């Protein structure tokens, strides 16, 4: 019996977090533009994101919503207890090199540090400030994951061997039979 009560508490907490994430998502995005991309009515989309309405947001709709908006914060709320984070992989036109990712990480970290300083002295934390700070934190996490992915891709397969070979040849190393 205690297990059932504990499960219901976890479910209620997760449902409240999901509802809050849906409300924040609706506040932070242009629902009309997203509804057009998803070929859904704007009112229906707003109703699906509003916990007070009887309409429910289905998993496939959530996936499309996150895909079209580029915002995976609702997914992250759902998966946070599992220890996972959802990050969108960049399109070819959006890819950044390692230096750009490092500089972006520093900028996002600085903004988060500034927010933390303001939160320490504030008496209460408004919902809008919380949502903006969470969006920055999700962007920073996404950037870090992409940095890790870039590093792993650079150090696997034949690429490191080729680059070491090219460095070896370019720095004037003697080649057997050619010296």
Which tens digit of pLDDT belongs to each residue from 99-126?
Answer: 888 899 899 999 999 988 888 888 888 8
Using pLDDT thresholds of 50, 70 and 90, give the confidence band for residue 1. very low
- Return the structure tokens found at 82: 């599992």
For residue 144, the model assigns a pLDDT of 86
Q: Say if residue 169's pLDDT is above 70.
A: no
pTM of the predicted model, to two decimals?
A: 0.61
Using pLDDT thresholds of 50, 70 and 90, give the confidence band for residue 10. low
Which tens digit of pLDDT belongs to each residue from 124-162?
Answer: 888 788 878 887 887 888 888 888 877 777 766 655 556
Which tens digit of pLDDT belongs to each residue from 34-55?
Answer: 999 999 999 999 999 999 998 8
The three-state secondary structure class of 73 is helix
Beta carbons of 46 and 31 less than 8 angstroms apart: yes
In the block, tokens 């040849």 appear at 169
Sign of the CA dihedral with 136 first, then 142, 147, and 148 last: positive
Burial call 32-62: b when 16+ CB within 10 Å, e when fewer:
eebbeebebeeeebbebbeeeeeeebeeebb
Which tens digit of pLDDT belongs to each residue from 51-85?
Answer: 999 888 899 999 999 889 888 888 888 887 777 77
């Amino acid at each position: 019996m205690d297990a059932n009560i504990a499960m219901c508490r976890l479910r209620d907490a997760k449902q409240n977090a999901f509802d809050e994430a849906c409300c924040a998502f609706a506040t932070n995005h242009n629902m009309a533009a997203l509804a057009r991309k998803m070929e859904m009515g704007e009112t229906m989309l707003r109703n699906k994101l509003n916990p007070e309405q009887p309409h429910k947001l289905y998993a496939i709709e959530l996936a499309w919503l996150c895909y079209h908006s580029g915002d995976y914060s609702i997914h992250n709320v759902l998966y946070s207890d599992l220890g996972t984070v959802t990050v969108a992989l960049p399109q070819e036109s959006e890819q950044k090199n390692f230096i750009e990712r490092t500089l972006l990480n520093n900028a996002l970290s600085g903004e988060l540090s500034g927010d933390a300083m303001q939160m320490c002295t504030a008496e209460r934390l408004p919902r809008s400030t919380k949502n903006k700070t969470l969006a920055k934190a999700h962007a920073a996490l996404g950037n870090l994951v992409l940095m890790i992915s870039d590093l792993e891709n650079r150090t696997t397969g034949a690429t490191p061997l080729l680059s070491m070979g090219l460095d070896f040849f370019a720095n004037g190393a003697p080649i057997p039979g050619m010296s």
